[in-house]
Structure 1
Amino acid sequence: MSEQNEQAGQLYIALISVHGLIRGQNLELGRDADTGGQTLYVLELAQALANHPAVSKVDLFTRQVIDSAVSEEYALPIESVSDQFNIVRIPAGPDQYIAKERLWDYLDAYTDNMMDYLRLQKKMPDIIHSHYADAGYVGYHLANQLAIPLIHTGHSLGRVKRARLLASGLSADEIESVYNMTRRIDAEEETLASAERVITSTHQEIEEQYELYDFYQPEQMRVVPPGTNLNHFMPPKGDELTSDLYFELTQHLKTPDKPIILALSRPDARKNITALIEAYGQSKPLQALANLIIIAGNRDDIDDLEDGARHVFHDLLVAIDRYDLYGKVTLPKHHQRDQVPFIYRIAAASGGVFVNPALTEPFGLTLIEAAASGLPIVATEDGGPRDIIGNCENGILIDPLEPETITDALLKLLGNQNLKQTYIEKGLKGVFTHYAWEAHANSYLDLICPIVKENERLERKITKRRTELYRDRAFVTSLDQNLIGDTASLQSLIQLLRSHRKTTLFIVATGRRLDSALRLLKHYHIPEPDILISSSGTEISYAPKLTTDTSWEKHIDYHWMPHKIRSMLDKYPGLKKQPKSEQNHFKVSYIIDTSMADVEEIKQLLHWEEQSVNVQLSFGKYLDILPIRASKGMALRYVANRWEIPLDRIFVAGGSGSDEDMMRGNALAAVVANRNKEELSQLVDVDRIYFAKKPFEEGILEALEYYDFFDSCTAPEELSREAN
């Protein structure tokens, strides 16, 4: 920082965070969706920068709110937080506090009023840093008018948010009406077109989110991990194992003096806590070495929790019972937020390890908190943990889909005191070097100072906006018969899909369960699809956080009585239940011996017993009983409708009987040459179904060329008819 110190006190930084309620102290975090992590981040960023010797002044610009429903402090035009730091509130639109989605009509007035304020200052800012899309809109207008470099942090992105909203059950029209999504995405695109640098928290955020934008430029992106307030997190002091909280946490353990394996997360299926119990339950040596404590939110009665959390606790309790882990695993019912730092210290004082086995982890704040508390970490290789362990070298990355990798990592740490101590020391040093606010301010200034000096401006590539706002076509494939047969052609297909990622949804539809499908995708290095239809069409998940489409679950839960189906078929001659790993709430699965059992007779039996079901046979031996509204084809049509993609712009590749209803109709379909026996042969004369001469991925590439999918997206015979 020597060059910065030579310029001590010279930098004037303007931060913009338009929405929410921001004040210098006592932030009302969690008051609503607009007063959360972003408001805390910008306030702490401003404070950290204002305390740096290279900075003379920081102004944090937000919206003035004059409203009896909120504190009078939000009406103050200027709040002086310190000699170097002011919160400046700019009037725009109504006086009242309103949600960010309703601010778009007032952002031009906000821009003009902020310009008026800046003109009255003795000096213009050296840098403008916008936060979120609305501030990006203001920021790129001001930066272009004033010729001041723009830095931007998105916090969340409209294209990703839209996928989550679709998963929640909202229609495309409702999303547009309520969230002004077109204006938001347009603002994000223009911000990317104007900003000198875009700051993200992780590399995964760049690769999986920003890459979807037309004006995305990799050279523009910089990973600067957010600062973390580490004042509350520290190594053990010596009183942890005699505290009331320690006895409360360990009261149900048979041997409470063992090291603690600690997990702390929401009761969310994506957090993958059940895999941790399975890893622990399958290893007697691990059980002998340590106890397992899982802090998974607060509860009074599991039956009163929302559906997702209730299912998670059900799976946890079943796993504990299956491996008879009573007295070795505990799931405390309650904890206070301010107890969390002490819980980390208890685990550290016990000689324990912190584990995050999540399927997807965008950042991983708990890993930083745990490391600052003196815990080595074992964490998923997805997302933020890769960066954290890469920076701190204080733990082991695991494959969250393979419980044995969790077991191996824990045994390695708990069985090697020297290694564990090395990771503890590196973690304590690393979090303060990379993740404390002072470290963040240093990295931030290293980034912006060359831009202020104009010796490191972005050389922009020629980019342009697409005509369509959203992706206008979809590539759909099953998994086992299509994507795992030809490694060389698979890489060609992956590269082709990546080059068209901005225009084309990548959808995988499989009979496998979600975790099984993810395991296979990971094994073959297939990128996570935008949409994963799993369990034969009963589950729909959206990237990048594997968000479950709860609206689809409600839709298919119609006259569905799996217990009656099992009572009828579990002892049916020629049927054998598939493993638990291939069953779920909406899929009852068997292996069928067709020499002993007839599928049509089974359908008739279910019909006689008034069961509204969909019966599917695939690969000649797998029999799935699904809700009447569920199948791969119906799930695909549901997705197409939600994403407003016409079926005639959807390519479907299949290779087994369970793919048939995806392929019939208006989609552009292809049957690969390696199809299972003669399944799908009945489609040979059906329009829009191309039988590839080549197998697996090579057959898919052949069919994509046949349909000219990434250009005209039309069957050749239809072009011929149009020409005639």
Structure 2
Amino acid sequence: MVATVSPKGLYILLISVHGLIRGHNLELGRDADTGGQTKYVVELAKSLARQVAVERIDLVTRLIVDEAVSIDYKAPVEQLSANSRIVRIKAGPEEYIPKEQLWPHMDSFADNLCIWLSEQPRLPDIIHTHYADAGYVGVRLANHTGLPLVHTGHSLGHDKYSRLLAVGMGIEQIEERYHMQARISAEEDILSCAELVITSTRNEIESQYELYDYYTPEKMAVIPPGINLEQFHPVIQGQPAISQAFQSKLSLFLRDPAKPMILALSRPDERKNIVSLLEAFGQNKSLQKLANLVIVAGNRDDIRELNDGVQSVLTELLWVIDVYELYGLVALPKHHSAEDVPDIYRYAAASKGVFVNPALTEPFGLTLLEAAASGLPLVATENGGPVDIIGNCGNGLLVDPLGREAIADALLSILQNPARWQEFSSNGLRNISRFYSWDAHAQSYLALLQTLVSKRKPLTQVTSTHQFSTYRNRALFTAIDNTLLGDPEALEQFANVVRSNRRQFLFGIATGRRLDSVLTILKRNSIPTPDVLITSLGTEIYYTSELVADIAWSHHIDHSWTPLVLRRVLESLPGLSPQPKSGQSRFKVSYFYDAQIAPPMDEILGLLRQQELSVNATLSFGQYLDIVPARASKGQALRYVTNQYNIPLDRTLVTGGSGGDADMLRGNTLGVVVSNRHQEELSNLSENEQVYFANGAHAWGILEAINHYGFF
């Protein structure tokens, strides 16, 4: 793939994988995945598309075909404006599933997105990912194309992990439900790869990103999100504050609807902490006498049919209402639309009420901006984005979300003091337009992007000296050790299969061994000469029997590779001893790993990240530690080769047997794990839909997989 910058303007690719994303009537609050992030990325796409410096915006998300959700989400393309659109890419099952269940399908999403990009007139200038799952995809795209990666986290795994522990959730429960270790590992890789990290607040950089090994504040920038001031504004004189339909919904709950409204609007998610808000209200008679509490928490028909997390929060809310006998004082409406939300804010402001966000942590807090733009004073969590919002706007109070008395006292101090209420309301209205407009956000954003694009060097293109076969439309790549080798009879049968079908497919070897070692093994075992050799763990590529080296690949993977620094960092670690020169190469630093005394791999990876070393490190066969450039691996080299030959990944059978083979097997390839004593290193691939675990060992497993997939 070759990236070129158009003189017309920037082409920006936004990626936001999970949630229900469409250009109209966003289903905010439907579940934990359809919240502020989905609204942010749609508004960002629309805002950027209006800028003169922008030629094209594509917002990429997941294609969903599910009778339980709108048909809008199965449209491959949805136009937002003349130069912006939503593009939906297949990933995993067709039905809508929570983001925690999407992780095994992200490699497939990346492969499908690469195919889609290859069909476009040109590549984007920038890849901008949102949340960890999209970041995982973005790292793979950036490594493949050399394009700059920009990332916005929205929420971070480390911070979420500590908050969940603080509310009493056990480590095993957190891991089972949220796959937190995989997420945090992905976030470390994102920070290593990204050239720019955009945050909403300074607090996010200093209190949340600081927890990561790869913490580089110098490549982080604060750009607060914007808000649509045409949609969110105070009550216009002579117009009703709220629709009659929603007012009638509130009247079902409230004994005296004219009292000031304490408004909370969020997803019914335990992290939003709305149960604590309700308990604070239930424990304070003065607050109950003075105001009503309205909790707008998503939409529901039957609580029993909702997922466990949402069901738990809503059930507990009803339980607390019953315990404190809050009937007539608390409204928990069952339905609201996106069009209702601005009116709800205005109605609360007209009642001289307060907006409250008691979340355990709030990465930013878009609802705080919406409420402030409508004239509402704020009471908000002291953890995260509200610190900056209230600091900039001077329109409310920060509280400890775990302190119920503190929440009640803050609400009372505003509701009982009309002068303070007016001061906070006026400050919010004045400062929101000053600090949080979409135009200001887009202009600050584009200034940073132009700097990245101007610094980027185009990928070096070297004319290929080997000829690609046009009649082969499938490929088979195999590792050598404990995969192809190990059983002479099976190897002989496999060699016969290769010879008899040679004109039908491309035959390749992908190994951690150096070229000279591979050639010796091929000759000694009478293995047919491969069409392609991927050697030294994906750092070298050779073609045909003439062994033509791919120089373009060497140029591509040389990005940020500093082997001398790498060796200096690792030389003092116990349990690591350098492999002989025959095991090393220009782009591969290799050690023997003694598990009895060496640090765990997590600690080694942490050390490399702390030293800002952007690399791929793999442990194979329990004793070989290999470190290569971030853009190199067997899987990345294989994708480069199949792209050169124009062979689809879903017609590429890939076999492996140890940890170094993992990224070859993930995604759209026809993956095969042969049976051997090291296959447990690949056990985490069992969740991947397109990885076959063979019963046969060594080459028997490859032959078994050829039949399993009907490869010929």
Distance 1:23 1:267 in 2: 22
Aligned to 1:58: 57
Aligned equivalent of 1:116, options 102, 107, 118: 118
Indicate yes or no: 2:421 matched with 1:420: yes
1:349 maps to a residue whose letter is A
**1:405-445 per-position Cα deviation (integer Å, ceiling 9, x unaligned):** 45554454345544432322221233344444334323322
Aligned to 1:273: 277
2:149 maps to a residue whose letter is L
CA drift at 1:55: 1.6
CA drift at 1:376: 1.4
Aligned equivalent of 2:108, options 96, 106, 112: 106
Distance 2:111 2:301 in 1: 49
1:583-622 map, 5 Å: none
1:67-78 map, 5 Å: none
Seen in structure 2, the aligned counterparts of structure 1 residues 67 and 48 have a Cα distance that, compared at 3 Å, is same
Aligned to 1:612: none
User: Quick check: 8-17 or 343-352, which moved more?
Assistant: 8-17
Seen in structure 2, the aligned counterparts of structure 1 residues 310 and 48 have a Cα distance that, compared at 3 Å, is same
Contact kept, 8 Å, 1:50 with 1:58, in 2: the verdict is yes
Aligned to 1:342: 343
1:561-576 map, 5 Å: none
**1:362-405 per-position Cα deviation (integer Å, ceiling 9, x unaligned):** 43343223212211122232323212211222112234455564
Distance 1:60 1:101 in 2: 20
1:7-46 map, 5 Å: 10-17=9-16, 24-25=23-24, 38-46=37-45
Aligned to 1:219: 218
Seen in structure 2, the aligned counterparts of structure 1 residues 34 and 317 have a Cα distance that, compared at 3 Å, is closer
Contact kept, 8 Å, 1:261 with 1:354, in 2: the verdict is yes
1:392 maps to a residue whose letter is C
Distance 2:96 2:159 in 1: 26
Contact kept, 8 Å, 2:163 with 2:361, in 1: the verdict is no
Indicate yes or no: 2:190 matched with 1:191: yes
CA drift at 1:447: 3.4
Contact kept, 8 Å, 1:302 with 1:313, in 2: the verdict is no
Distance 1:242 1:107 in 2: 42
Paired residues, number: 450
Distance 1:273 1:88 in 2: 39
Give the SS at the match of 1:420. Answer: helix
Distance 1:425 1:140 in 2: 44
Seen in structure 2, the aligned counterparts of structure 1 residues 216 and 81 have a Cα distance that, compared at 3 Å, is same
Contact kept, 8 Å, 1:275 with 1:401, in 2: the verdict is no
CA RMSD, 1 decimal:
5.1
1:654-665 map, 5 Å: none
Distance 2:358 2:425 in 1: 19
Name the % identity: 50
Aligned to 2:481: none
Contact kept, 8 Å, 1:278 with 1:403, in 2: the verdict is no
1:399-418 map, 5 Å: 399-402=400-403, 405-406=406-407, 409-418=410-419
Aligned to 1:715: none
Distance 2:382 2:437 in 1: 23
Aligned to 1:370: 371
1:438 maps to a residue whose letter is D
Distance 2:302 2:60 in 1: 44
Indicate yes or no: 2:383 matched with 1:385: no
Contact kept, 8 Å, 2:45 with 2:57, in 1: the verdict is yes
1:106 maps to a residue whose letter is S
Contact kept, 8 Å, 2:227 with 2:438, in 1: the verdict is yes
Distance 2:94 2:318 in 1: 45
Aligned to 1:129: 128
Contact kept, 8 Å, 1:140 with 1:150, in 2: the verdict is yes
Contact kept, 8 Å, 1:358 with 1:400, in 2: the verdict is yes
Give the SS at the match of 1:374. Answer: coil
1:266-305 map, 5 Å: 266=268, 270-271=273-274, 272-274=276-278, 276-277=280-281, 280-281=284-285, 283=286, 290-295=290-295, 297=297
Distance 2:404 2:395 in 1: 21
Give the SS at the match of 1:441. Answer: helix
Q: Which has the higher contact order (CA 8 A, sep 6+)?
A: 2
Aligned to 2:473: none
Contact kept, 8 Å, 1:276 with 1:357, in 2: the verdict is no
Seen in structure 2, the aligned counterparts of structure 1 residues 173 and 252 have a Cα distance that, compared at 3 Å, is closer
Contact kept, 8 Å, 2:36 with 2:366, in 1: the verdict is no
Distance 1:13 1:24 in 2: 17
Indicate yes or no: 2:130 matched with 1:148: no
Contact kept, 8 Å, 1:277 with 1:320, in 2: the verdict is no
1:225 maps to a residue whose letter is P
Structure 2: 5+ residue runs without aligned partners? 1-5, 457-559, 574-598, 605-609, 611-712
Contact kept, 8 Å, 1:93 with 1:109, in 2: the verdict is no
Distance 2:249 2:112 in 1: 53
CA drift at 1:152: 1.0
Seen in structure 2, the aligned counterparts of structure 1 residues 264 and 186 have a Cα distance that, compared at 3 Å, is closer
Seen in structure 2, the aligned counterparts of structure 1 residues 66 and 126 have a Cα distance that, compared at 3 Å, is same
Distance 2:210 2:318 in 1: 36
Give the SS at the match of 1:379. Answer: strand
Distance 2:42 2:117 in 1: 22
CA drift at 1:303: 11
CA drift at 1:154: 2.9
Seen in structure 2, the aligned counterparts of structure 1 residues 218 and 67 have a Cα distance that, compared at 3 Å, is same
Give the SS at the match of 2:81. Answer: coil
User: Quick check: 251-260 or 310-319, which moved more?
Assistant: 251-260
1:251-262 map, 5 Å: 257-262=258-263
Contact kept, 8 Å, 1:267 with 1:313, in 2: the verdict is no
Contact kept, 8 Å, 1:241 with 1:350, in 2: the verdict is no
1:292 maps to a residue whose letter is N
CA drift at 1:28: 7.0
Aligned to 2:446: 445
Give TM-score scaled by structure 2 length.
0.51
CA drift at 1:127: 2.1
Seen in structure 2, the aligned counterparts of structure 1 residues 37 and 270 have a Cα distance that, compared at 3 Å, is closer
2:377 maps to a residue whose letter is P
User: Quick check: 79-88 or 240-249, which moved more?
Assistant: 240-249
CA drift at 1:84: 1.9
Seen in structure 2, the aligned counterparts of structure 1 residues 231 and 100 have a Cα distance that, compared at 3 Å, is farther
Distance 2:190 2:330 in 1: 48
**1:227-261 per-position Cα deviation (integer Å, ceiling 9, x unaligned):** 44555433123534996755764688787655444
**1:90-128 per-position Cα deviation (integer Å, ceiling 9, x unaligned):** 67889998863332442563464255245x42xx53322
Give the SS at the match of 1:103. Answer: helix
